[in-house]
Structure 1
Amino acid sequence: MSRRSSGLVGVWAEAQRQQQRQREAQQRAVVQQQRQQRAYERDLARMQREQQTAYRQGRDADARQRTQELEEQVAALARLLADGCGAAPFRVAALTRAEEVAPFEPGQLARPVVMPDPAQYQAQGGWTAGRRAQAQQEAQARYQHDWQAAQAAEAHRVQQLAAYRAQYDAWAAGQLAEVRTHNAGLAQLVDALRAGEPGAAVDYFSAALYASGAWPEGFPRQVSAAFDRGARQLVLDWELPGVEVVPEVKSVRYVASSDTEKESARPVTQRRALYRDALAQCMLLVLREVFAADEYGCLESVVLNGFVDDVDPATGRRAEIFLATVSVPRAAFGQLNLGQVSAVDCLVEALRGQLSARPDQRTAVRPARRPADVGTGVVSHGGGEEPDLFTMDPIEFEGLVAELFRARGMQALTTQRSNDGGVDVEALDPDPISGGRIIVQVKRYRNTVPPTAVRDLYGTVQGAGANKGVLVTTSGFGPGSYGFAEGKPLTLVSGAELVDLLHQHGLRGRLGAGSGGSASSAGAAGSSGSAEGSVPARRPAAEPSSEDFNLLGMTWTGAVSLDVCALVCRGARVLAEDHFVFFNNPENPGSSVRMVPGVGGDRAAVRVVFDALPAAADRLVLVAAVDPEANPAGDLGGFTSAAICLRDAAGLELDRLPVSDGRPGETALVLGSFRRRAGGDWDFVPGGKGYRGGLGELVGEYGVVVA
């Protein structure tokens, strides 16, 4: 007899099978999760290796770029004489102005007002004779009204045109008179040169040296001169460059193991040899410029003394230390082939001159003859007699800028002092392709020009319909100004560039007490003063401008809370611990770097006055670290889509610089660094190196000791 199942065993068996299937599914899920975790770790490790490789390649490329810049600087010194000999000699004809002025251009005033056409005033509508007559009268009335208005407008145009023509004729007559007076003065100078007048000789040959384009940027142009009429001998004291023109560093190498840049010093003997050669080239180049400019045969010989303005080791006070001297007859100099000579051998052996054996140590030589030793009746002319652009009359300063544009082959005139619409000089470039109308603003400032002035100039250029705008200043511009001007028809001319341009075209001007003060030194002075007002007193150079600065704002996605910090460094070492700017030290000495609240959606920000950073600093490093109080267990895994927003003083975004995302397990990250280039500009180099030990480990590599 068969036994019937109650069904409990079947239910139990099915339950066991379900549990077994669940355990197998869970096991498969664990295995799959482990595989995915291993794949993620492999991808993460590969990404970290790639990022680290890219970071090291960037650092290595930066080091090689710095080495290349050093080599190019030395190469430029080596070919100084050869390049200078290729320049055209100075001639009086280069200073002669053409007797022409800008043509009369009345613009819209030249177009007569269009009179109304009677044919356009026909009667409209009317089904009856009375209505048609009324419509005819209305049309005639409209015509009479418009005709009278057009007649009045035409009479006003003719009156304005006559007034404008009279104004132009007066201006043109003044311009022609000025040109003729200038050319007559040049003719008198030539007559005086031929007669051997000392004053004319000193002025002419000093102008030839100032106008020379052979001197690299930053080389001094200071001269004192006298002319011995009886001996037909020109005696010159010429300022030579300091030893800093030869780089102290020979090469830069990136050391990946320590993530640092190692600078190799140039051997002392090599630097001394390069400096002596550069001094000898400068002496020969001065002689070449003077003899080549002597188109009227004034000179029989030249005595040249080269000095540096430096601290005298014997007295400890600043003085003119003479490092070279030579007396050269014209006949002896004419036999030289300067393009092939060894500069030191030529100066010392062929010309029997003297050159300091250790110019880097300011070992002096005795000058053969000084300008002050020339006898009675001889005129001396010093480089310090150049007009100081800071103290020049405002109208004369604007006139000098207009003169510079005319010397460059353009037509230029200064505007009236009132209602000039922000225009100080108007110039017309006759070039049919790149020329056109140019609006020029002149800012005689001692401190850095704020970016607002550049924006105002752009608005003036657009409003006037000009082709280009030029802003000329006696100081300098910050990164915000250059960032705004980029890609726009704007040219910014700093004080140092202005002095160089004046000298290139035979015009005279200096910045302050020196012969060629730089915009960087002037830019750290007191509050701004325009050309219309007086120049304010200087303030300590360490105090940055309150107007010209940049905001470096940080943006990122994710909920991680970060501390953004900055380090003012030379190489990979912070200048001093007080140049580590963070929450407990919100600004560095001099306040060129300061922590500020973010603007425009930035979650953190650093205020930087790049022009006021210490001269010893060559980079500004930005870093970020997890805030240990807000996120005690957090890391940088949520730090993504990060960027540095470069803003001007008004908060306007100038550029957006992407930075590396954070990585899990790391709590501090180098965002990037701004690095000073040889020309004074700052370039951004992305970072990417992360640290698991937080901010303390990061700043420790830069020489900051964390207690």
Structure 2
Amino acid sequence: MSRRSRGLVATWAEIQRQQQRQEEARRRAWAQHQREEERRQRAAERAAARNRREQQAAYRERREADARRRTEEIDRRVETLRSFLATGCRAPAFTPEALKRPEQVEPFDPGQLGVPVPMPDPDAYLPRQRGGWGFGANRQTQEQARARYEHDLRAAQAAEAQRQHSLAAYQRQYRQWADERLAEIRRHNAGVEELTAALGRGEPAAVVEYFTAALYASRGWPDDFPRRVSASFDPAARGLVLNWELPGYAVVPEVSMVRYMPGADRDKEVKRPAAERRALYRDVLAQCVLLAVRDLFVADSFGVLDSVALNGFVDDTDPATGHRTQVFLATVMVSRADFERLNLTRVSAPECLVEGLRGQLSDRPDRRAEVRPVRLPGEAGRPVVSHGDGEEPDLYDMDPLEFEELVAELFRAMGMQAVTTSRSGDGGVDVDALDPDPIRGGKIVVQVKRYRNTVPPSAVRDLYGTVQSVGANKGVLITTSAFGPGAHAFANGKPLTLIQGTELVDLLHRHGLGGRLGGASRAGEAGLDTGPGAGPDARSDAGSDAGSDIESDDATVLGLTWTGGVALDVCALVCRGSRVLDEDQFVFYNNPSNPDGSVRMMPGFGEDRAAVWVRFDELPPQADRLVLVAAVDPEAAPGADLSGFLNARIRLSDPSGTAVDELDVSDGRPGETALVLGSFRKRANGDWDFVLGGKGYPEGLVALVEEYGIEVD
């Protein structure tokens, strides 16, 4: 009995020991697991810390590199400012030859019309069984194949005949366009020859136009420097007198270097010492004056100039009146003999200007401390305009000052007080007028532009800025040419009046004065129309507000932008009423320009996804409508519709990209694949207004253009 009890106890004890060993093993395993987890956690934390340190180091390196880059940009800018006189002296001299256009036109490019229509391959129509035409068991199948081949062959031959006919017509149109283009180039070059002859005779108008064009076209100036000039020529003294705009104090960087502060996680800009910045600005002003004088003398291959009197000014706000004014910071009169003694590539510009040439340079240009100009353009007085002594004067050929005086006389004939402004300090105003009417009257500022091409929208923007700065009631812009829709869009709703050439002639006649548009092309027009870098004022008269923005093209840019991913083709149709003038007046991806080049498809830039460039004054005379349409590109987006064409608008701008206005257009609708965006319609006075469209076409672009009279095979 005792043995049995001891056996049970021993068994129970053994079970207890086994359970205890198992429990201890589990605790050991759990402890081991915990230690492993802790080791992994510590390893992960060490890796994260190492990663953070690496990220922080990389971030710091990026910030330090960015600070170094900004510092290097500032250093490069300062180096440019210190050396642009020497750089500009290495630029080639301006010559009348630079005004000429090469007598060449774009080569003929037939595009898809130059690709013959492929003829069908008869072997492709043969049945797969053996045997030739008309043999074998399945004779009916062979006859059907022959019939399909002959049908397709006739269709291909007809298409090829149509292609050759269209190609011949296109070649005729190209030859006509090329002949007209060459004739235009030759007229232009003849105008340059006339300008050259007038320049050799020392005619004041030709001298002023040529040398101001030389300043505009000079390649030695930093791109962001202003180029605004007013000038006159004294034939008796053989001296050119001009006011030339200088860059403002902000042209010299206020910051000398940039450092990254890792503790504060920010960039610290180290200010340039005031004395250093002021000295560099004086040096820049002196270099500007010397480089302008250099450009004038080296451009004088005719020996017209004996001296140049140049006054450098900056635009500033008069603290007494709050109006914009011109502050003269440098002035000099240089004879040709004194100029030829100089080696401008090695001089100290301030010392050369003040000591070598006995000019004046402001001691504190940063505080706008003025100097007194040695001589101002037009100081000898203005000639008096006379009327009724024979043929009416051609407004294109009038002296710039006479033209301004004629406009002032027109305002006086209309019952207002009007005077022409002095050439210096006019703030972009050619005529100051005062309307005494107690209700609608007030101060009026007038700008006049003797242009032959469309006035760019930038001129209207400049006038509006002048109206605001001088506190005038109204601004009037008068031109011998016309205004595009961009100019009218900007002027709409503002105290601005735009008077184009035909309206000006009518006003002159109604008030007993004379003037006409036409006659022989003036000598300077061709030269100043295309001088490299020449702006719109260079195309007119240098003495009449020659400081407008420089434009490379007088076209109006119609930029189209929208949200959504739909791929579109933007097209334009030149119409009379609701019918396109001709198939070649349908401008699209396969015909990127109409024959005279007045409408061109161009790549969009900036936010524009597509663009059409239009010269409204050069559209065919019979055209009274320009229709803009958009259609889904079936190759880029097969099966898509216009539901993705949203928030669409047309952005009016000039070729430099400066926006003038925006025109909203209709959004696309599901199921439609083509849409009329709107049309520019010609008014009786020659202006163009925009009319919103919105008609959609489920059948696509083919249905749209067929409605406008284009036959699509």
> TM-score under structure 2 normalisation?
0.56
CA distance in 1, matches of 2:189, 2:249: 42
CA distance in 1, matches of 2:311, 2:664: 39
Matches within 5 A, 1:182-201: 182-201=188-207
Q: CA deviation at 1:86?
A: 1.3
1:228 equivalenced with 2:234 (yes/no):
yes
Amino acid of the residue matched to residue 196 of structure 2?
V
Counterpart of 2:32 in structure 1 is 28
Distance 1:288 1:29, change over 3 A: same
1:40 equivalenced with 2:44 (yes/no):
yes
Matches within 5 A, 1:155-234: 155-234=161-240
CA distance in 1, matches of 2:71, 2:364: 26
Counterpart of 1:599 in structure 2 is none
- CA distances 1:39-68 after superposition (whole Å, capped 9, x unpaired): 232222222222222222222222222222
Counterpart of 1:568 in structure 2 is none
Counterpart of 1:389 in structure 2 is 456
For the residue of structure 2 that corresponds to 1:261, the secondary structure is strand
Q: CA deviation at 1:449?
A: 5.5
Counterpart of 2:522 in structure 1 is none
Amino acid of the residue matched to residue 261 of structure 2?
V
Distance 1:442 1:291, change over 3 A: farther
> TM-score under structure 1 normalisation?
0.56
Q: Aligned to 1:91, which of 95, 102, 111?
A: 95
Q: Aligned to 1:124, which of 133, 143, 147?
A: 133
Counterpart of 1:441 in structure 2 is 602
For the 8 Å contact 2:116–2:160, the answer to whether it is kept is: yes
CA distance in 2, matches of 1:534, 1:144: 49
- CA distances 1:264-286 after superposition (whole Å, capped 9, x unpaired): 21111111001000000010110
Q: CA deviation at 1:230?
A: 1.1
For the 8 Å contact 1:209–1:290, the answer to whether it is kept is: yes
Distance 1:237 1:407, change over 3 A: closer
Counterpart of 1:72 in structure 2 is 76
**Between Structure 1 and Structure 2, how many residues are aligned?**
462
Amino acid of the residue matched to residue 602 of structure 2?
Q
For the residue of structure 2 that corresponds to 1:307, the secondary structure is strand
- CA distances 1:56-100 after superposition (whole Å, capped 9, x unpaired): 222222222222221111111001101111111111112212222
Instruction: Choose between structure 1 and 2 for higher RCO, CA contacts under 8 A separated by at least 6 residues.
Output: 2
Counterpart of 1:289 in structure 2 is 295
Distance 1:151 1:351, change over 3 A: same
Q: Aligned to 1:8, which of 12, 15, 33?
A: 12
For the 8 Å contact 1:277–1:343, the answer to whether it is kept is: yes
Counterpart of 2:65 in structure 1 is 61
For the residue of structure 1 that corresponds to 2:269, the secondary structure is strand
Matches within 5 A, 1:458-537: 522-523=658-659, 533=680
For the residue of structure 2 that corresponds to 1:257, the secondary structure is coil
For the residue of structure 1 that corresponds to 2:220, the secondary structure is coil
For the residue of structure 2 that corresponds to 1:372, the secondary structure is coil
For the 8 Å contact 2:258–2:268, the answer to whether it is kept is: yes
For the 8 Å contact 1:300–1:330, the answer to whether it is kept is: yes
Unpaired stretches in structure 2, ≥5 consecutive residues: 384-398, 405-422, 429-448, 461-481, 488-525, 535-551, 557-571, 575-584, 614-627, 637-651, 666-676, 683-713
Distance 1:332 1:42, change over 3 A: same
Counterpart of 2:586 in structure 1 is 419
CA distance in 2, matches of 1:307, 1:170: 49
Higher mean alpha-carbon deviation, 2-11 vs 274-283, is at 2-11
Q: CA deviation at 1:253?
A: 1.6
For the residue of structure 2 that corresponds to 1:373, the secondary structure is coil
For the residue of structure 2 that corresponds to 1:299, the secondary structure is coil
Q: CA deviation at 1:217?
A: 2.5
Matches within 5 A, 1:397-416: none
Distance 1:26 1:454, change over 3 A: farther
For the 8 Å contact 2:217–2:532, the answer to whether it is kept is: no
Q: CA deviation at 1:211?
A: 1.1
CA distance in 2, matches of 1:176, 1:371: 39
Unpaired stretches in structure 1, ≥5 consecutive residues: 428-437, 466-492, 500-518, 536-707
For the 8 Å contact 2:239–2:307, the answer to whether it is kept is: yes
Q: CA deviation at 1:372?
A: 2.3
Distance 1:142 1:13, change over 3 A: closer
Matches within 5 A, 1:96-107: 96-107=100-111
CA distance in 2, matches of 1:525, 1:72: 36
For the 8 Å contact 2:601–2:611, the answer to whether it is kept is: no
Cα RMSD for the two superposed structures: 4.7
Q: CA deviation at 1:249?
A: 1.4
Distance 1:364 1:12, change over 3 A: same
Counterpart of 2:268 in structure 1 is 262
Counterpart of 1:452 in structure 2 is 609
Distance 1:113 1:47, change over 3 A: closer
Distance 1:108 1:524, change over 3 A: closer
For the 8 Å contact 2:241–2:376, the answer to whether it is kept is: yes
Distance 1:16 1:282, change over 3 A: same
- CA distances 1:101-127 after superposition (whole Å, capped 9, x unpaired): 233343554566678899999963446
Distance 1:73 1:135, change over 3 A: closer
Counterpart of 2:328 in structure 1 is 322
Identity %: 47
Amino acid of the residue matched to residue 257 of structure 1?
G
Distance 1:231 1:406, change over 3 A: closer
CA distance in 2, matches of 1:176, 1:100: 7
